[in-house]
């Protein structure tokens, strides 16, 4: 009969506190876990499989053309699903556009024509993603460059999975401090 333990409400407050900490974890342990989150800068290079090799003088230099608006829509929806919901800046042909929602940005994208698109999105005050999409680029390089500052690996993995599902090819992912 000595091996059967009494339920926790039979003991005093100290024993009940020890039982709760043993069962659900101590609040000090949770604080230590939150401090261990590593935030790094991530550089991602990617392109679409549907690239076109151009004719004429651009072919001599090895240039390709991509649908910048199509890539922009895929990347923006993937970043939106990964938690980057605040749009800070949109730039095309040295013109800056202000918009607050993803639908506003898609309507702006439908009217843009340019060789380079730049976006800056933010998840929080710390995490920011800047995207540069080139319409004409050297075929040996990537058409899209994404830099996510102070990111967590889980967010980057979620973004990369969504991008792969949509058909973009990831050329390079580098984690830097």
Domains of the chain, first to last: 1-36 (no CATH), 40-176 (3.30.160.110)
Classify the C-alpha dihedral 123-126-129-130 as positive or negative: positive
> In percent, how much of the chain has pLDDT > 70?
76
Q: What's the pLDDT tens digit per position in 110-163? A: 666 767 888 888 888 888 999 998 888 887 788 889 999 988 888 888 888 988
- Is residue 43 scored above 70 in pLDDT? yes
Highest mean pLDDT among 9-13, 47-51, 173-177: 173-177
Tell me the average pLDDT across 9-17: 70
List the beta strands (DSSP E) in 49-93: 52-53, 63-65, 86-92
Full-model pTM = 0.70
Q: For helices 68-81 and 102-110, give the axis angle rounded to 10 degrees.
A: 180
For residues 64 and 159, the model is more confident at 159
Looking up tokens 């090819």 gives 169
Return the residue matching tokens 């339920």. Answer: 7
């Amino acid at each position: 009969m000595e091996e059967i333990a009494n339920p926790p409400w039979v003991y005093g407050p100290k024993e009940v506190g020890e039982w709760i900490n043993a069962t659900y974890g101590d609040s000090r342990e949770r604080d230590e876990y939150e401090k261990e989150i590593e935030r790094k800068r991530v550089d991602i290079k990617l392109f679409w499989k549907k690239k076109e090799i151009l004719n004429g003088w651009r072919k001599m230099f090895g240039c390709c053309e991509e649908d910048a608006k199509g890539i922009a829509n895929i990347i923006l929806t993937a970043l939106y699903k990964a938690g980057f919901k605040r749009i800070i800046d949109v730039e095309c042909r040295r013109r800056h556009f202000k918009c607050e929602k993803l639908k506003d940005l898609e309507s702006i994208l439908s009217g843009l024509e340019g060789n380079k698109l730049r976006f800056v999105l933010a998840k929080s005050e710390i995490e920011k993603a800047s995207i540069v999409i080139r319409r004409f680029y050297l075929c040996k390089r990537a058409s899209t460059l994404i830099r996510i500052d102070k990111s967590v690996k889980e967010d980057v993995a979620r973004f990369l999975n969504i991008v792969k599902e949509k058909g973009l090819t990831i050329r390079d992912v580098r984690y830097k401090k």
